[in-house]
Amino acid sequence: MQNRRTDRGSFFPVFWKVDSHYPLMDFHKDCNLSQPEDVAIYAEGKYNVKLDGKLFEGTPTTINVPAGQHRINVKVFNQASVPTIYVKGKTVVSDSSWLLTFEDKEWIDETGKTSDVSATKWLNAGSWNFNSPTNLPSQFKLPVVSQSAVSTTANSTSRLIDFGKETFGFVKLHGVKGSGAMTLYYGESKEEALSKDGAVTLDRLQFSNVSKQDSTMPLSKAFRYVNVVMEPTLNLDSVSMLYEYADVKDRGSFKCSDEEINRIYDVAKYTLHLATREFFIDGIKRDRWVWSGDAYQSYLMNYYLFFDSPTVERTMAALRGKDPVTGHINTIMDYTFYWFLGIYDYYLYTGDKSFIKNFYPRMQSMMEYVLGRRNKDGLLQGLPGDWIFIDWANGLSKKGEVSFEQMLFARSLETMALCADIVNDDRGKTTYTKLSDDLKKKLFSLYWNSSKHALVHSRVDGKQTGNVTRYANMFGIFFNYFNDAQKQEVKQHVLLNDSIQKITTPYMHFYELEALCAMGEQDYVLKQMKDYWGGMLNLGATSFWEEYNPTKKGAEHYAMYGREFGKSLCHAWGASPIYLLGKYYLGVKPTAAGYATYTIEPKLGGLQWMQGEVPTPAGNIQVYCSTTQMKVKGAAGKGLLSFQSKTKPICKEGVIEAKGGNNYTLMIEPDKAYTVRYKAK
Amino acid sequence: MQNRRTDRGSFFPVFWKVDSHYPLMDFHKDCNLSQPEDVAIYAEGKYNVKLDGKLFEGTPTTINVPAGQHRINVKVFNQASVPTIYVKGKTVVSDSSWLLTFEDKEWIDETGKTSDVSATKWLNAGSWNFNSPTNLPSQFKLPVVSQSAVSTTANSTSRLIDFGKETFGFVKLHGVKGSGAMTLYYGESKEEALSKDGAVTLDRLQFSNVSKQDSTMPLSKAFRYVNVVMEPTLNLDSVSMLYEYADVKDRGSFKCSDEEINRIYDVAKYTLHLATREFFIDGIKRDRWVWSGDAYQSYLMNYYLFFDSPTVERTMAALRGKDPVTGHINTIMDYTFYWFLGIYDYYLYTGDKSFIKNFYPRMQSMMEYVLGRRNKDGLLQGLPGDWIFIDWANGLSKKGEVSFEQMLFARSLETMALCADIVNDDRGKTTYTKLSDDLKKKLFSLYWNSSKHALVHSRVDGKQTGNVTRYANMFGIFFNYFNDAQKQEVKQHVLLNDSIQKITTPYMHFYELEALCAMGEQDYVLKQMKDYWGGMLNLGATSFWEEYNPTKKGAEHYAMYGREFGKSLCHAWGASPIYLLGKYYLGVKPTAAGYATYTIEPKLGGLQWMQGEVPTPAGNIQVYCSTTQMKVKGAAGKGLLSFQSKTKPICKEGVIEAKGGNNYTLMIEPDKAYTVRYKAK
């Protein structure tokens, strides 16, 4: 995945460290059979098989396992791709009950005796849907489906093909005839495809006396337009494409009375689909890489759309890589912290502890690395090799100790404490709790400026800078680090203050709008969404962009990184309406791990009605809400519908509790439909 | 290498952790050209090329580098095998002047500007003799040469082929006819080849209606005999082999008046040749693995025979693997320490600091691991996962804190201090020196037993055990940890004391005889060599064994590890006479790194005459010595011939200095021949 980006036909891989798998792996399974059984064994790699410690001769493809208690070991070597096994008996099959090690700590002495103390550490084997011996994990490819162009503009030496919207896949040429050179210039915009010098991706081909040849490009690309430029000695019939996609299903949905919001939701959904591949990547033209800060937002959107856990786990595992830690994740300090935060959310939404149990040692070593880089005041500032990213924002200072980084650091330490608790590391829990408590205190003692009613952006040389930015202040709200008075101050003096530097990326708009939603500003946020995402749609966007600055004009919008068409026009972080509409309008969120308990707090934010579904580990939660009626149906956990009504609400299926003022709640039992008649404020 | 062992046809890899290479590598070279030049670029893997930070389009095979100062980057991705490049210009070529990184710490901001602080760490690229684009490092194979059998014993369904001596390579069948099953049983002994159930290695083949087919086995094996057993429906003309060898040349030599010693030297040489392959391995039948304790002895023998530095470096690098350290090298505590000692010796013999400079960080992390496993008394005892090996010796206790391990630990800390000095790590030098000094003091305060006149074997529960073994005591002599009185006590009460458990492996005989030689017991050691190695030759050995116990009879000698033919009959650690004869009889050893200074102290040890050569980085040192005459010719450094004579010695080419008693010295200038007339004591 990290090696499929190209730039002007050049291979363009990531710049950070890439780890490889352990090439030698020992898998084992303990089983207790009531009947003997034949067990077929396949492996990707050279392998051997043991039964109860005794090696079979050669490389058996089937072994007979007698009745009773037995241990089967399969040891596989594969340097080129990950060692894997496929085992198929009547009861003994390759599944997640197998354990593995890459380091046996057991040896045999000169008399043939096995050492009496084994310190071998066994981990849970990964397992997925490779359900036949010919279905090799190393050969995994996403599915494709053929799609036709919407229009073609042709002249004698070129064809400009428009696929109607942003898409991704393998271009297919039909009926090429003749000899000569051909270049395919890809464009997310028409301007890019038509710019022979500016198009970021291209394919250069050479044909020699072909007649009616079809060719499919070897590497998938992101584009809406393809400009095929060829020598006059060449001709071609038509161009189509194979759309490549991750087969994840929409479980969540949203529809409402505002057609523009519906279009925004649909384009956000399509944007997230495009950027969800083997892993959650940033953008499909560029970088096609797994970036932790980008992926973190995809996880959250995923919980409101696909609820696809394997993609989250794969992405978090890929980001972390192997020990030793020699730098921040993606080299970016903030991105290390988003990795921790992603684990917290994963547990909260899915209730699955297995990732934490397998990865806790790598969480510890990652945090050790961070702790080892604190300065004498216990704060983090950029050391050589640390990229302080925060956001793409003109002139943003990265100097000294940035408050935003300390806040993410504190949240990461809280995550460590939570995970320590899950894996029963009592000492770790105490340590991490103390560290996060101390750091949270420092956040206020060192950065809060009461005359500015906000946290300042940074300290330089031990002194507060006067600069106030939105970043730490908006996170402080939904991290719940501020008290109520501080929240109001921050809202007025930072979030709703136009003199504070504006955000121009959907990336940070995600958090800005989340902070405002968390404070009940759904009406304001709905307008912002229509302005900002609606603004992109008005410019013809068919997927959401990496950055959008409404003050720019025409093709200026496509420039970035000092390049005319440097901007990515399909970037996962552009899809945040999925998350905001599910969590803060439909109002569904877990309050205990895996939706054991959850709340539904519908907020119309000015809409006449809305309806949708939010996925949970065991079924969807359904919500319909108009100004006079709500219909909800819960999933497996215990839900709490919470709302305001100007009149006394009525529900036949449950007992509504009045909470004072206009506030009411209703307990939502699993799998039961409720209708509430009420009057929105 | 670690994956080519088979056992009864089963794949039998190492059990410890195997690391893979970093799959993504950035190579660069800064050059200053007086003329522009075309530079051809080849890589194993997907790659891109930059000139002065600017990416070339596509995958260029030739670039033009203008005159002046330029930087060329080639970035290569290869998961299956190590990323490599071959660059060929007029002056710009791929050599060891290139630097590489697997972790760029430089990024580009949204305006296209490169980050101002790069923390990228560049390492020296490895370089070897792959001198054409088709000569791929990943396809490297040792050379082979065809060899014929010495005799064949045939009957209708089998052929017993004898190659006359232990050998290694690919068996080739000539003129196979018919259909049916054939099995090749390999034997280092005739008994093993004839034992269908006991032969450790075999090949099972199936032929279907072939006529005069030649077949070469895909995997090389160790054997003297091959027993070809086939169904009566098969026939074959003859069997030969392709002998596979590392093309390292003998630079050292030894010849003397004792024909048995000459045979021992020749068989030792052959043994070391067989066990010197891509790396120094333990034995050619078994384990075919790189073991640090075994390799350590091969390094030392190598300095007196091949002086092949690449094999030493490769072996040390392979043993260390990557961070993080999760166990001892080969899981064995003593083997971790031999790794450190090997680096010390490598520097002493070759004078090459490059390995130390590249590997110092991994030396530090390896030592951190060890230091982290000390107990409250600062000593090491076996923790779960630590194999305390020492030697194959019946009933040897590994409990508690074994003195031998502390002694190797102390020597390893001394090595760290030495290397810290070489890389200018002043703090490290101070720390490691203090740690080794403290530990050496403890060795005597805790383990020296004056009534036993020796170091005891171990402490258990904080108390000395009464047990005395040879291990720590013999190392203490040539590490020079004992004072002269202690050396004499140890010699009498341990080394020459038959009631102390005897050594039955050539492995520990190496050190025992070295200790005795270091104390001037060359006469005694010569007899030991004739007894022990001569004993193996008398039993028909054509290479030296993993273990030899003279009290055993017949085929009993071949058993080990609870298996009838479990013993390896060609084990590198059997070849120590190469080292002992070069260092303690010819008497040549470096006294400063890389033979900048060295001594020659010939000791006949009862021989009438001896002559030989000892390789150094710049040429061989030649020594001839009889009871009345010595002829020496030095290499590049400053030598000192040191000897005893009953008469006043005479030399025309230099000035002999009398040192009192019968002791004399003569300075040996580079490349000059000296003849000394004298009379041996």
A contact test, residue of B49, B77, B79 with most A CBs within 10 A: B79
Do the chains contact at A105 and B566, CB–CB below 8 Å? Answer: no
Q: Hey, what are B48's tokens?
A: 């891109």
Do the chains contact at B327 and A103, CB–CB below 8 Å? Answer: yes
Q: Among B582, B612, B646, where does a domain finish?
A: B582
Secondary structure element (H or E) that encloses residue A445, with its range = helix A426-447
Q: Among A582, A609, A640, where does a domain finish?
A: A582
Q: What is the pLDDT of residues B174-193, one digit of tens each?
A: 999 999 999 999 999 999 99
Average pLDDT for residues A558-578, to the nearest whole number? 97
Residue A456 lies in a domain: yes
Question: Max alpha carbon distance in chain A (Å)?
Answer: 87
Q: Which segments of B17-61 are extended strands (E)? A: 24-33, 37-44, 46-51, 54-55
Q: B117 pLDDT band (50/70/90 cuts)?
A: confident
| Residue A142 reports pLDDT greater than 80 | yes
Do the chains contact at A19 and B22, CB–CB below 8 Å? Answer: yes
Residues B238 and B260 in one domain: no
Residues A238 and A312 in one domain: no
Residue B348 lies in a domain: yes
Residues A543 and A576 in one domain: yes
Residues A114 and A238 in one domain: no
Which DSSP string corresponds to B222-264? EEEEEEEEE-TTEE-SEEEEEEE---PPP--EEEES-HHHHHH
Q: What is the pLDDT of residues B371-413, one digit of tens each?
A: 999 999 999 999 999 999 999 999 999 999 999 999 999 999 9
For tokens 């982290």, the residue is: B372
Instruction: Number of A to B CB contacts under 8 A, please give it.
Output: 171
Residue A3 lies in a domain: no
Residues B655 and B507 in one domain: no
Residue B16 lies in a domain: no
Residue B132 lies in a domain: yes
Q: What is the pLDDT of residues A345-387, one digit of tens each?
A: 999 999 999 999 999 999 999 999 999 999 999 999 999 999 9
A11 CB neighbours in chain B (<8 A) are: 46-48, 59, 75, 77
Residues A476 and A418 in one domain: yes
B117 CB neighbours in chain A (<8 A) are: 384-385
Q: What is the pLDDT of residues B211-270, one digit of tens each?
A: 999 999 999 999 999 999 999 999 999 999 999 999 999 999 999 999 999 999 999 999
Of the candidates A645, A642, A576, the one whose C-alpha atom is nearest the C-alpha of residue A303 is A576
Residue B49: closest C-alpha in chain A: A10
Q: What is the pLDDT of residues B335-360, one digit of tens each?
A: 999 999 999 999 999 999 999 999 99
Average pLDDT for residues A254-273, to the nearest whole number? 98
Do the chains contact at B11 and A47, CB–CB below 8 Å? Answer: yes
| Partner B, chain A 115-144, Cβ-Cβ below 8 Å | 115, 117-120
Distances (CA, A) of A602 to A529, A662, A680: 18, 14, 10
Q: B422 pLDDT band (50/70/90 cuts)?
A: very high
Which of B11, B110, B117 has the CB atom closest to A46's CB atom?
B11
A206 in contact with B at a CB cutoff of 8 Å? Answer: no
Residues B578 and B591 in one domain: no
Give me the percent of chain A exceeding a pLDDT of 90.
97
Mean pLDDT estimate for chain A: 97
Q: What is the pLDDT of residues B554-573, one digit of tens each?
A: 999 999 999 999 999 999 99
Residues B93 and B185 in one domain: no
pLDDT at A545: 98
Domain count, chain B: 4
Residue A648: give its domain's CATH number: 2.60.420.10
Which of B17, B47, B108 has the CB atom closest to A22's CB atom?
B17
The single-letter DSSP state of residue A247 is -
Of the candidates B448, B625, B569, the one whose C-alpha atom is nearest the C-alpha of residue B191 is B569
Residue A9: closest C-alpha in chain B: B58
Q: Which residue segment(s) compose the domain that A283 sits in?
A: 253-582
Residue B214 lies in a domain: yes
Task: Provide φ and ψ at A265, rounded to 5°.
Answer: -60, -45
Q: Hey, what are B184's tokens?
A: 């090749």
Residues A171 and A270 in one domain: no
Helix, coil or strand: residue B561:
coil
Distances (CA, A) of A512 to A128, A506, B381: 37, 10, 57
| Partner A, chain B 13-72, Cβ-Cβ below 8 Å | 13-24, 46-48, 55-59
The single-letter DSSP state of residue B495 is I
Q: Among A83, A118, A139, where does a domain finish?
A: A139
| Partner A, chain B 61-80, Cβ-Cβ below 8 Å | 75, 77, 79-80
Residues A200 and A285 in one domain: no
Residue A335 lies in a domain: yes
Residue B197 lies in a domain: yes
CA A199 to chain centre: 28
Is the CB of residue B68 less than 8 Å from the CB of residue B33?
Answer: yes
pLDDT at A531: 97
For tokens 């043991």, the residue is: A50
Residue A149: give its domain's CATH number: 2.60.120.260
pLDDT at A632: 98
B247 in contact with A at a CB cutoff of 8 Å? Answer: no
Amino acid identity for residue B155 in this structure = N
Is the CB of residue A616 less than 8 Å from the CB of residue A307?
Answer: yes
Q: Hey, what are A657's tokens?
A: 């509790």
Buried/exposed A368-399: b ≥16 CB within 10 Å, e otherwise: ebbbeeeeeeebbbbeebbbbbbbbbeebebe
CA B309 to chain centre: 10
| Partner B, chain A 283-322, Cβ-Cβ below 8 Å | none
Which of B56, B109, B119 has the CB atom closest to A384's CB atom?
B119
Residues A415 and A513 in one domain: yes
Complete edge-to-edge strand list for the sheet that includes strand A37-44: A62-65, A37-44, A84-88
Q: What is the pLDDT of residues B617-638, one digit of tens each?
A: 999 999 999 999 999 999 999 9
Residue A461: give its domain's CATH number: 1.50.10.10
A102 in contact with B at a CB cutoff of 8 Å? Answer: yes
Do the chains contact at B385 and A13, CB–CB below 8 Å? Answer: no
Q: Which segments of A499-658 are extended strands (E)? A: 588-590, 597-600, 609-616, 619-626, 629-633, 638-644, 650-651, 656-658
Residues A238 and A180 in one domain: yes
Buried/exposed B525-538: b ≥16 CB within 10 Å, e otherwise: bbebbbebbbebee
